[in-house]
Chain A
Amino acid sequence: MTDTSSTSLGEAVARAAPAPIASRIRGLSDRSMAWLFITPAIALLLAVNIFPLIWAIYLSFTNFRANRPNAALENVGLSNYSRVLNDPNTWQAMQTTAHFVFWTILLQTLIGFSLAYLIDRKFRGHAFWTTIILVPMMLSPAVVGNFWRFLYQPQIGLFNHIVSFLTGIPPSSFEMLGSVRLSPWAIIIVDTWMWTPYVMLICLAGLRSIPDYIYEAAEVDRASLWRQFWSITLPMALPFIMLAILFRGIENFKMFDMVTLLTGGGPGSTTEVASITLKREAFESWRTGRASAFAIILFVAVFGLANIYVKALNKVKQR
């Protein structure tokens, strides 16, 4: 493809577009050409993302209810925000989210980095096994949540039977999804199963970005493997680890689909993460104004993290 397009250049020029159009397009300044290229994408984003966002900001200052669109719209100022930010239930949802985010990130980073470190030993067949390990992260979180609900069934589920096989606890004596104590962990396990490969892949890139000569120099200095790990491997892979942590943090902060299908926020509200509270507020209680305020709060939090994420991204890019 490449070769033909560059060798036949001369002939192609001869057959080039009719002169008037060509010169008209060539006549455009580079600046207007640039806008011609990027405007369609920006316009779409403005229409489908930014316009709704501004609408949501507007709604968050009103008492609008989507199930009563014709009711009189009243400006309520900041009271939606102050209600959400003083509501013990949403505060509780934030803590549930925090618990989920903290443990998933901790587990995924530990397991993911260890796996990457092992795969970086470049044993035979490592590429094949890496591909196998990567499969879960490509799946749909909703579909994953749904089939793990099957694996977690107390009588018939495979998970309970494997636990019982390993520990001797009878398989029907515990309910991963039905018990207040275990259900947060049920979600953490599924998320870790699904997203550890993500962290692993980025850590692996980090480990591979460390040039060999640094290790060779360390070897000349007779630095122990332990020293090498702490003073070369870890610090040099750290920007990559941070990148993975930030992205997982953002994603899990707004986690919705997997949790909805696993527990739906239950039992009670033990696994009700922020997105589920928001969904209930917006699409079940129909307090649209208040839900919008909550949505803006979540958005500000994610936007703040996204800033840091892009900074981390640029740091990694320079390597």
Chain B
Amino acid sequence: MSSVSTAHSVVEPSRTSKRIAASIVIIYAVITMIPLLWIVLTSFKSPPDSISYPPKIVFQPTLEGYCNLFTTRTRQTPDYIASLGEPTSTCDEITRSRNMVIAGASNYWPRFQNSLVIAFGSTFLAVSLGTFAAYGFSRFKIPLAEDLLFFILSTRMMPPIAVAIPIYLMYRQLGLSDTALGMILLYTAVNVSLAVWLLKGFIDEIPREYEEAAMIDGYTRMQAFFKVVLPQATTGIAATAIFCLIFAWNEYAFAVLLTSGAAQTAPPFIPTIIGEGGQDWPAVAAGTTIFVVPILVFTILLRKQLLRGITFGAVRK
């Protein structure tokens, strides 16, 4: 380091080092995206293209994967297909070109709906309970608060399979196995710990003076909570909700052990999509793409809060 090169602020890295850093990071980012891009590409391939050797980068895009994802099909004779009228949709046309007809809807959409119901239901509950508890921990002197908070966090760290054994027995007794309500309760319990920790961080940042002023003006504690604290904590609550939503959306271990049909979510369903003669990869890829897109949107929305989320609110940048 010569004194000449330190003419600029020492903390500001030199131009060359910036350029080198930028190129390495960009290369890494591109490599990291290849698997995802490949899945999106595969979802637009026809089944033969998806299993070609070597893999095809240039191909004729088709919606066959998406059609296969949402429908079940049966093989028919060409004569029978010719006897049918005009195809009613693109999917109909594609299916007929494979000598098949659409027999009905597949289970993907019901599973996707289950995912939506369970994710949103549990997020709503977890965030509501979490906001109250976080406010309690943030504003009141609670005996053994540290231990309670640790207890709350430790419930999230439990290995899912270890919890699943007694939950399985409990749900069997209560008739909650394979019900959306059972899954919502379970995910709420897992998410409430994250919600309490995250929201406590956010509420700690709201000055107490606001509510105290409101309470001097005659608000009750509850009114102060609803009319002063909640509006201030909107960003925090939204960020927490998205984190809870993503967890419930992505969860697999509980879902595969505790649901089998009626309440099954998308993650355990997607790997079971099978076509003729092995896995129907374009359909699997299509299912994955549709499942992953909301997460991509949320990641972009959340990018400023991600750090808080993954450290339970401890690191605030």
Contact = CB atoms under 8 A, between A and B. Distances in A.
Nearest to B143: A31
B315 A205 contact: yes
A171 B213 CA distance: 71
Contacts of A135: 32-33, 36, 296, 299
A38 B136 contact: yes
A88 interface: no
Given A9-B213, A129-B25, A171-B54, A208 B192 contact: no
A48 B136 CA distance: 21
Interface in A226-269: 240, 243, 247, 250, 253-254, 256-257, 260-261
B189 A142 contact: no
Contacts of B159: 253-254, 256, 275, 278, 295, 298-299, 302
Interface stretch (B64-72, B78-86, B103-111, B303-311): B303-311
B176 to A, nearest CB: 11
Contacts of A73: none
B140 A33 contact: yes
A208 B317 contact: yes
A48 B295 contact: no
A71 interface: no
Nearest to A136: B32
B161 A9 contact: no
A16 B226 CA distance: 12
Given A150-B42, A275-B159, A34 B141 contact: yes
B252 A38 contact: no
Contacts of A131: 299-300, 303
A75 to B, nearest CB: 18
B299 A53 contact: no
Interface in B207-254: 210, 213-214, 217-223, 227-228, 231-232, 234, 246, 249-253
B22 A146 contact: no
Nearest to A117: B21
Interface in A145-161: 146-148, 150-151, 153, 155-158, 161
28 contacts: A9-B214, A12-B227, A16-B220, A17-B223, A30-B140, A33-B221, A34-B141, A41-B196, A42-B133, A47-B189, A53-B158, A56-B165, A129-B29, A130-B303, A132-B32, A133-B32, A135-B296, A138-B296, A150-B42, A155-B53, A202-B310, A215-B10, A243-B311, A282-B164, A288-B169, A296-B162, A302-B158, A314-B314
Contacts of A22: 220, 223
A143 B314 contact: no
Contacts of B312: 313
B274 interface: no
Nearest to A222: B1
Contacts of B166: 51-53, 55-56, 59, 292
B18 interface: yes
Interface in A278-305: 278-279, 282-283, 288, 291-292, 295-296, 298-299, 302-303, 305
Contacts of B124: none
A225 B12 CA distance: 13
> Which DSSP category, helix, strand, loop or mixed, fits chain A's interface?
helix
B39 interface: yes
B142 A55 contact: no
A142 B267 contact: yes
Nearest to B52: A156
A317 interface: yes
B133 A40 contact: yes
A15 to B, nearest CB: 10
Interface string A1-44: 11001100110110011000010011010110111111011101
A68 interface: no
Nearest to A206: B315
A134 interface: yes
B94 interface: no
Nearest to B196: A41
B148 interface: yes
Nearest to A213: B11
B23 to A, nearest CB: 9
A288 B18 CA distance: 57
A299 B211 CA distance: 41
Contacts of B99: none
Contacts of A44: 129, 185, 188-189, 192
